[in-house]
């Protein structure tokens, strides 16, 4: 008891020391933690790669005010002071995109972090006299999107979580994928004494089910807990051996299957989720939420709902609100959030307005909640890497706005009419028809060879919303 107290005290001391040293650092250089939030396949890695590349070369950011007014000096990568987290492998990802055989970077398997330092001339005369050149250290964290879905777990007791997962697994399209695991649930009793083998078996079947969800063509987003499918450094740890159980409503005995699983669930929450959150998310200043709307639209209404509920649940964990100068210094709240519909290059440019609108409509509740707390919220349709060109073509006497690019897995460019995005939530008026086909395109050959940074759509406007006031 006393030891834990002491431990806590020393933790607090360490925290205070960290803050003080941050504070001193802040007097000379500003640190800004940008949270790149997004579910699996939302394009976080490509976004971070393109963001860094464009900041380093600064040739394609006309809407970033500090660049437009010629105050932008230069940016470079600097080692992150936190040496325990692996560095985001910007060079390798960039090489994958810009190589002779362009392709997409591998999905992120673990946590990665990188720091970009930006030097600029301050805009206000007063600041210029004090400091002719200011430095902004931009810290960006990349992580597997699956982990984001762990955040809602922090607030849930085991029983409630189990019930939610079981309810979801009963409905199509998940019911078929969960058959084996649900069969196993029928054979065990939560109240009986259990051994390790039983736990392992349950966790294995549940993990298989989660993997099946991820692979399924319905593009399902709610896959919890995230470490089951992307274990990172925890592969094989006993922490990951639990699964949801149906609640019998009776008191659970010690050493019963339920009690063991609940214990592991709580350990998972405190050891994995809370640590991940405290170390990487609780000190964010700005946040961009990347949403792959087009992928969900292609997969159908089920996928869209799934994605929306996953996003809304994960976003509740973050602290949004207006932060004063003191909070800014010690890193308190997220005071600016940008929702971005990614992969905007998969539709013709004339559809970007509707795409942006649709994202607004889908996440209007979450946006309202953030705005209520005092954060500034924006929406944008962006493409971190522009892979296509908008072209016009004629079909049966009608002018169609299409996109032209090389789809993944082919070697010749094609012209695709992906369907029109409506300006309302009336997305799937006809169940039978497939109103949208958004193909995945390969990165363009020779991207970024002109030395101006990777071609993008509205990355500069996104950056201006997120960082603009720091460059004042």
Partner 1 sequence: MTETARDSASWLAPMELDPGQAMRTPVEATASGGRPGGEAAAVLGRLRWPLAGSALVGAIAAMILLGLAFDAANLLQRAFAAGAVFGALVVALIAVAVGTTLKLALDEWASLRRLRRIEGLRSDAERLGTIAGYGEATRFADSLAAFYVDRPELVPAFGALRRSISDAHDDGEVVRLIDRQVLAPLDHQAYRCVVKGARDIALATALCPSAALDVAIVLWRNLRLVREVATLYGARPGQFGSIRLMKRMLTNLAVAGVAESAQHVAVDALGGNLAAAVSTRLGQGMINGLLTARIGIAAMHLCRPIAFSPDNQPSLRKIRSELMSVPRQVL
Q: Which residue in this structure is represented by tokens 């073509």?
A: 393
Least gap, CB of 123 to partner 1 (angstroms): 13
In sequence order, what E strands does 14-131 have? 30-38, 72-78, 112-120
Least gap, CB of 428 to partner 1 (angstroms): 12
Mention every residue, 6+ apart, whose C-beta is less than 8 A from residue 37: 148, 287, 288, 289, 290, 314, 315, 318
Check: CB of residue 37 under 8 Å from CB of residue 439.
Answer: no
Label the pairing between strands 336-341 and 286-291: parallel
Using CA atoms, how far apart are residues 45 and 142, in angstroms rounded to an integer? 7
Using CA atoms, how far apart are residues 288 and 378, in angstroms rounded to an integer? 9
Using CA atoms, how far apart are residues 197 and 162, in angstroms rounded to an integer? 20
Least gap, CB of 437 to partner 1 (angstroms): 4
Of the two residues 277 and 428, which places its CB atom closer to partner 1 in the complex?
428
Using CA atoms, how far apart are residues 87 and 80, in angstroms rounded to an integer? 8
Of the two residues 86 and 353, which places its CB atom closer to partner 1 in the complex?
353
**Tokens describing residue 213:** 């969800």
DSSP structure string for 291-327: E-HHHHHHH-HHHHHHHHHHHHHHHTTS-BS---HHH
DSSP structure string for 224-267: SSHHHHS-GGGTT-GGG--------SSPPPTTBHHHHHHHHHHH
Of the two residues 144 and 455, which places its CB atom closer to partner 1 in the complex?
455
Least gap, CB of 150 to partner 1 (angstroms): 35
Using CA atoms, how far apart are residues 132 and 126, in angstroms rounded to an integer? 10
Least gap, CB of 229 to partner 1 (angstroms): 30
β partners of residue 74? 119
List residues binding partner 1 (CB under 8 A).
60, 62-63, 68-69, 344-345, 349-350, 352-353, 383, 386, 389-395, 398-402, 404, 412-420, 430, 432-437, 452, 455, 457-458
Least gap, CB of 291 to partner 1 (angstroms): 18
Of the two residues 121 and 237, which places its CB atom closer to partner 1 in the complex?
121
Least gap, CB of 57 to partner 1 (angstroms): 13
- The three-state secondary structure class of 181 is helix
**Tokens describing residue 52:** 């860094």
Exposed, middle or buried by CB within 10 Å (0-12, 13-18, 19+), for 56? middle
Least gap, CB of 409 to partner 1 (angstroms): 14
β partners of residue 320? 334
Of the two residues 65 and 262, which places its CB atom closer to partner 1 in the complex?
65
Least gap, CB of 72 to partner 1 (angstroms): 14
Of the two residues 317 and 415, which places its CB atom closer to partner 1 in the complex?
415
Of the two residues 10 and 437, which places its CB atom closer to partner 1 in the complex?
437
Of the two residues 291 and 402, which places its CB atom closer to partner 1 in the complex?
402
Of the two residues 33 and 352, which places its CB atom closer to partner 1 in the complex?
352
């Amino acid at each position: 008891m006393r030891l834990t107290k002491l431990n806590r005290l020393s933790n607090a001391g360490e925290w205070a020391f960290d803050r003080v040293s941050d504070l001193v650092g802040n007097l000379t250089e500003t640190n800004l933690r940008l949270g790149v939030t997004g579910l699996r396949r939302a394009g976080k890695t490509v976004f971070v790669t393109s963001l860094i590349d464009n900041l380093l070369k600064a040739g394609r950011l006309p809407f970033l005010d500090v660049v437009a007014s010629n105050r932008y000096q230069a940016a470079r990568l600097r080692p992150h002071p936190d040496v325990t987290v692996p560095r985001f492998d910007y060079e390798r990802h960039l090489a994958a995109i810009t190589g002779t055989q362009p392709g997409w970077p591998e999905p992120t398997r673990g946590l990665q972090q990188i720091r970009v330092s930006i030097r600029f001339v301050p805009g206000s005369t007063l600041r210029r006299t004090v400091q002719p050149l200011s430095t902004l250290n931009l810290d960006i964290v990349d992580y597997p999107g699956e982990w984001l879905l762990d955040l809602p777990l922090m607030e849930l007791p085991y029983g409630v979580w189990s019930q939610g997962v079981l309810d979801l697994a009963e409905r199509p399209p998940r019911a078929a994928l969960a058959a084996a695991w649900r069969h196993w649930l029928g054979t065990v009793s939560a109240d009986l004494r259990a051994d390790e083998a039983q736990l392992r078996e349950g966790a294995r079947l549940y993990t298989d089910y989660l993997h099946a969800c991820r692979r399924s063509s319905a593009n399902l987003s709610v896959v919890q807990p995230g470490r089951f499918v992307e274990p990172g450094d925890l592969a094989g740890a006993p922490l990951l051996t639990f699964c949801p159980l149906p609640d019998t409503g009776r008191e659970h005995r010690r050493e019963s299957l339920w009690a063991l699983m609940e214990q592991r669930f709580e350990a998972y929450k405190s050891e994995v989720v809370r640590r991940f959150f405290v170390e990487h998310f609780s000190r964010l200043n700005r946040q961009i939420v990347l949403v792959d709307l087009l992928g969900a639209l292609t997969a159908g209404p089920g996928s869209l709902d799934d994605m929306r509920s996953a996003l809304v649940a994960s976003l509740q964990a973050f602290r949004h609100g207006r932060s004063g100068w003191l909070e800014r210094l010690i890193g308190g709240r997220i005071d600016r959030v940008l929702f971005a519909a990614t992969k905007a290059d998969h539709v013709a440019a004339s559809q970007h307005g509707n795409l942006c609108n649709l994202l607004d409509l889908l996440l209007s509740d979450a946006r309202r909640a953030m705005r209520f707390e005092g954060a500034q919220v924006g929406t944008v349709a962006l493409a971190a890497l522009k892979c296509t060109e908008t072209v016009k073509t004629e079909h049966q006497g009608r002018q169609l706005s299409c996109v032209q690019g090389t789809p993944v897995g082919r070697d010749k460019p094609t012209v695709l009419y992906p369907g029109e995005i409506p300006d309302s939530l009336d997305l799937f008026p006809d169940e039978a028809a497939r109103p949208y086909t958004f193909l995945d395109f390969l990165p363009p050959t020779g991207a970024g060879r002109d030395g101006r940074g990777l071609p993008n759509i509205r990355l500069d406007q996104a950056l201006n919303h997120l960082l603009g006031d720091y460059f004042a």
